[in-house]
Amino acid sequence: MDRPPNHLTSGTVDLRRWRAADAELCLRLVTESLDHLRPWMPWATSDYDLAVAQDFVQRCEADWAEGTAFNYLILSGGEPAGAAGLHARIDPGGLEIGYWVHPAHTGQGVATAAASALTEAALTLPGVDHVEIHHDQRNLASERVPVKLGYTHVETRPERRFGPAPADSGISKVWRITR
Ligand SMILES: CC(C)(COP(=O)(O)OP(=O)(O)OC[C@H]1O[C@@H](n2cnc3c(N)ncnc32)[C@H](O)[C@@H]1OP(=O)(O)O)[C@@H](O)C(=O)NCCC(=O)NCCS
C-alpha cells in the first residue's frame, strides 16, 4: 500500500508523523490547547491525560501501518504547533483532512499550510483522486482553510465527525478538491 511521506513541508510549516514516543509532547500540546479545542473536539476534556495521549500516538502508528489514517505533528518555525492528518474515512478514492492548531500559533496560516501540504501529498498517492475537508457549519475559522486552498463546497449535511462537542450544530459543510 502506498503511504504519504513521513515528513512534509509547506513554507515555514513542517509536518512529521506522530511516533509512539511522542505521548508527552502530545499531552503538553493538547493540555495547553484545551480551552481552545473544547468547543469543537469532544475528546478535548479535563480527562485528557498521559494514558489518552499514549493511546493516541500508538493508534497513529497502527493506523499508519494499516493505511487507515496518516497523522502528523505540525511544527511552525520548528516549534510544535498542532496536529493534522489524512483519514481514509470517506468514499473510495478519497481522503479527508483533519487539523487543529495550538492557540499560540493560530491566525498565522498554519492550518492552511498544513492542509496544503496534506492535499498535495494525498493527490500524489495512486488511487486517490479527491480530498475533502469537513467542518461544523458554525466553525468559521475552520471553513477559511478549504476556502483559501480553492476547495469547492459540495454539500451541507447532518454529520458529527467526533460525537457532540459544545459548539457543534451537528451540521457539517463538506469541501472537496479533485486531482
Ligand atoms: C480552525 C483552526 C485549525 C484554524 O487554524 P489557523 O492556523 O488559525 O488557521 P489559518 O491561520 O490557516 O486560517 C484561519 C482563518 O480563520 C479566520 N478566523 C479566525 N477566527 C475566526 C472566526 N471566529 N470567525 C471567522 N474567521 C475566523 C482567520 O482570520 C483566518 O482567515 P484569513 O486568513 O482569511 O484571515 C484553529 O482555529 C483551531 O485549531 N481551532 C480549534 C479546533 C478546530 O476547530 N479544528 C477544526 C475542526 S474541523
pLDDT digits (tens, 9 = 90+) for 56-103: 999 999 999 999 999 999 999 999 999 999 999 999 999 999 999 999
Radius of gyration of the chain (CA): 15
Strands 69-76 and 13-17: antiparallel
Question: C-alpha grid cell for residue 30?
Answer: 493538547
Domains in the chain with CATH codes: 7-178 (3.40.630.30)
pTM above 0.85, yes or no: yes
29 closest CA partner among 86, 85, 83, 109: 83
CA of 30 to the centre of ligand 1 (A): 17
Burial degree of 125 (CB within 10 A; 0-12, 13-18, 19+): middle
| Average of per-residue pLDDT values in the chain | 96
| pLDDT reading at 163 higher than 90 | no
* 86, 106, 172: residue to mutate for ligand 1 pocket, most atoms within 8 A of CB: 106
Cβ neighbours for 148, distance < 8 A, ≥ 6 positions apart: 112
Residue with the smallest CA separation from ligand 1 atom 17 is: 141
